[in-house]
Amino acid sequence: MPTIVFVSPKGGAGKTTAALVLANELARGAAVTVIDADPNHPIRSWAAEAHPGDNLTVISDSDEENILDRIEEAAATTPFVIVDLEGSAAKIVLLAVSQADFVVVPTQGSQLDAEQASRALRVIKQQEKMSGRPVPFAVLLTRTNVAIRTRTMTHIQRGLIDAGVPVLNTELHEREAFRAMFSFRQPLEKLDPKEVANLDKAMANAEAFAQELVALLRKEQGRTPGRTAEQVA
């Protein structure tokens, strides 16, 4: 079953939010296991109060010694496995990437964030060298303003694409609803639209994100081996 790994070397890139948004959306139609490998365990804390239902399971006891077993066990029991990791230098990141069917690299629209995202790309390159197989990946632009397209954002997106780095068409917008999931400890669809502005738009954004990831996973299943991250870089 597909394993989607979220990697970001920089805090505040929206990695955990993106992982939870995707997990929550996929769990509306299929069973999902989230492996919360962030030492702060934000998704475990969320799930303890959110009670997301039988379709969403959170595992938070993973470390370098057992991460491969945890991913294998989850993949054997649920259609989707999502792994939320901290940083990019730790051994556990390399191990998780080795099991990934797709790696998502969240980054905000700043030059600093884009440069830091290259560290995640190097992790993918390293794993590809070790395994001899390409690891599908893409950058996810996060916390973007749906109303205003800054020159910086346009420049960063164009630079990534020109460099051959895959960028998801769907961006995860700056929405109050995504923050409210953690504040109110609720799945997105259970938030009160009277208390959370533009909830419907956040839900549409989450759905588009999940649909694009699923489409890419299906495409990769039927793809002949393509360029590795090293060739892209």
pLDDT at 40 exceeding the cut of 60: yes
- Stated length of the chain: 233
Banded model confidence at residue 225, pLDDT cuts 50, 70, 90: very low
pLDDT at 226 exceeding the cut of 80: no
Between 225 and 26, whose confidence is greater?
Answer: 26
| The predicted structure's pLDDT at residue 230 | 41
Tokens, residue 151: 């020159």
Tens digits of residue pLDDT in 131-154: 888 889 999 999 988 887 777 778
Would you kindly state where each structural domain of the chain is located, as residue ranges?
3-232
| The predicted structure's pLDDT at residue 88 | 62
| The predicted structure's pLDDT at residue 228 | 42
Do 130 and 97 contact (CB within 8 A), yes or no?
no
Average pLDDT over residues 197-219: 96
pLDDT at 44 exceeding the cut of 90: yes
Average pLDDT over residues 173-178: 96
Do 134 and 107 contact (CB within 8 A), yes or no?
no
pLDDT at 67 exceeding the cut of 70: yes
Banded model confidence at residue 223, pLDDT cuts 50, 70, 90: low
Classified by CATH at the fold level, domain 3-232 comes out as Rossmann fold (3.40.50)
Tokens, residue 31: 């069973």
Do 14 and 73 contact (CB within 8 A), yes or no?
no
Do 37 and 83 contact (CB within 8 A), yes or no?
yes
| The predicted structure's pLDDT at residue 131 | 82
Tens digits of residue pLDDT in 1-38: 799 999 987 777 789 999 999 999 999 999 999 999 98
As a whole number of angstroms, the distance between CA 171 and CA 208 comes to 9
CA nearest 181: which of 167, 166, 162, 196?
Answer: 196
